[in-house]
């Protein structure tokens, strides 16, 4: 049975990951997997499985709180979910057949790559300021509290969004993360979607994405319910706190913080995977 | 997708106005699933740490995890119902594909399950 101290450590780690995740528009898995795998020494598959369940919980509670505020682009989300769930299925099966060190190296490479993308596009906003612009079937508009204005956007380069979503879905199940750290920069940088809408839509999608993967880990017996429970409850608490603070934080500051954290994770994962 | 011109013309106004029914339904499903699952997990984790009944704790923890895994599936099903109700066939079809993919992962889980 699970010892009380271990459950409390995982609960606390979940709370930290959840609050960071909510602040950055991620599921929090990108922090939790390295902590469980490198910090506490769980096998990568067990860490990934726990993390995927916290991604589902965060996605569900965050999206429930945001529903009705138009920040989530549901139509775009449902369309891209076809790609993320398909990728997730592929990644979930592949994860059962690949060595742990391979997954660690992949984790390291991808997190560094995304950190570079984030830093290189720090000042882009991708906003159509005229509120009368027709956003089209897949575009959207929402009220932004910071500027007090209505933000309207159209979706550009849909095939790029679909490709990135498939990749994000595969990586999600392989590595136990939400995949937001691939989708959000791509949707923001290349597809014309404002960061907040991209993050909210990604957070909405990753629940379904992570489920396709988590179910496979559960079937394989790698999902330990007691450990997952401690992590989920911690992440729920943390993301609740992060959400309250997140609306007031600046987008640029968030991007820089995200990039720094990803670099650190990258180095640690590569060091372990190559050894 | 541009086949329904009359609905397309009504879109910009509808998007800027009241919350759409789909968002409300999806929000309710997600909240209900997470609340039920978290309650099971919280009681289960407390029982497993301090309680005497390991079997009850184990059942609650598994139920909590299964309810959590079922929550996004329920959200997808609710979306299909909403899209069919609104006669939005392209999106009903897309969402149905997502449901099929989730079912395929259940099949993959059963294949990997060594206890079967």
Closest residue in A to B31 (Cα–Cα):
A64
pLDDT of amino acid B2: 40
For residue A184, give both structure tokens: 């959000």
Looking at the predicted structure, is the pLDDT value of residue A123 above 70? Answer: no
Which chain B residues contact residue A215 at CB under 8 A? 69, 102, 105-106, 108-109
**Cβ neighbours around B44 below 10 Å, total:** 24
Could you report the predicted ipTM of this complex, rounded to two decimals? 0.86
Contacts of A271 (CB under 8 A, 6+ apart): A108
Q: Report CA-CA distances (Å) from B89 to A205, B3, B81.
A: 20, 11, 11
Q: How far apart are CA B74 and CA B65, in angstroms?
A: 14
Which chain A residues contact residue B109 at CB under 8 A? 215-216, 218-220
Which chain A residues contact residue B63 at CB under 8 A? none
Tens digits of residue pLDDT in B40-73: 999 998 888 777 678 888 999 999 999 999 999 9
| Chain length of chain A | 275
Q: How far apart are CA A30 and CA A175, in angstroms?
A: 9
Name the H helices within B17-53.
21-50
- From B26, B33, B61, residue closest to A229, measured CB to CB: B61
Tens digits of residue pLDDT in A17-72: 888 777 766 667 888 898 999 889 999 999 999 999 999 998 898 888 888 777 88
From the CA of A81, how many Å to the nearest CA of chain B? 7
Confirm or reject contact between B65 and chain A (CB < 8 A): yes
Q: How far apart are CA A169 and CA A83, in angstroms?
A: 7
E strands in chain A: 140-143, 150-153
pLDDT of amino acid A77: 93
In 3D space, the residue among A172, A198, A193 whose CA is nearest the CA of residue A85 turns out to be: A172
Are A267 and A108 spatial neighbours (Cβ–Cβ below 8 Å)? yes
pLDDT of amino acid B116: 52
Contact check, Cβ <8 Å, A60/B19 = no
Tens digits of residue pLDDT in B62-113: 999 999 999 999 999 999 999 999 899 999 999 999 999 999 999 999 988 8
């Amino acid at each position: 049975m699970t010892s009380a101290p271990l459950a409390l450590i995982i609960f606390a780690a979940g709370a930290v990951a959840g609050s960071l995740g909510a602040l950055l528009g991620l599921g929090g898995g990108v922090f939790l997997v390295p902590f469980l795998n490198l910090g506490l020494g769980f096998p990568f598959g067990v860490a990934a499985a726990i993390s995927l369940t916290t991604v589902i919980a965060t996605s569900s509670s965050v999206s429930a709180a945001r529903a009705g505020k138009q920040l989530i682009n549901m139509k775009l989300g449902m369309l891209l979910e076809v790609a993320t769930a398909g990728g997730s299925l592929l990644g979930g099966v592949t994860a059962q057949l690949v060595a742990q060190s391979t997954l660690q190296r992949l984790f390291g490479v991808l997190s560094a790559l995304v950190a570079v993308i984030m830093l290189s596009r720090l000042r882009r906003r991708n906003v159509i300021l005229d509120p009368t612009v027709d956003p089209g079937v897949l575009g959207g508009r929402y009220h932004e509290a910071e500027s007090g204005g209505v933000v309207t956007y159209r979706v550009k380069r849909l095939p790029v969004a679909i490709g990135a979503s498939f990749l994000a879905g595969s990586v999600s199940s392989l590595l136990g993360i939400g995949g937001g750290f691939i989708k959000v920069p791509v949707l923001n940088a290349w597809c014309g979607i404002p960061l907040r809408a991209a993050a909210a839509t990604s957070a909405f999608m990753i629940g379904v994405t992570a489920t396709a993967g988590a179910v496979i880990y559960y079937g394989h017996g790698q999902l330990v319910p007691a450990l997952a429970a401690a992590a989920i409850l911690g992440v729920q608490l943390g993301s609740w706190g992060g959400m309250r603070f997140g609306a007031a934080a600046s987008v640029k500051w968030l991007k820089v913080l995200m990039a720094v954290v990803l670099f650190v994770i990258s180095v640690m994962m590569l060091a372990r995977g190559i050894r | 997708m541009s086949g329904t011109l009359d609905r397309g013309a009504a879109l910009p106004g509808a998007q800027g106005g009241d919350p759409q029914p789909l968002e409300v339904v999806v929000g309710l499903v997600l909240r209900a699933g997470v609340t039920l699952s978290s309650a099971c997990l919280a009681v289960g984790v407390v029982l497993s740490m301090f309680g005497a009944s390991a079997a009850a704790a184990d059942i609650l923890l598994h139920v909590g995890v299964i309810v959590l895994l079922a929550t996004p599936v329920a959200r997808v099903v609710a979306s299909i119902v909403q899209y069919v109700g609104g006669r939005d066939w392209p999106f009903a079809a897309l969402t149905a594909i997502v449901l099929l993919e989730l079912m395929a992962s259940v099949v993959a889980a059963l294949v990997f399950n060594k206890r079967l």
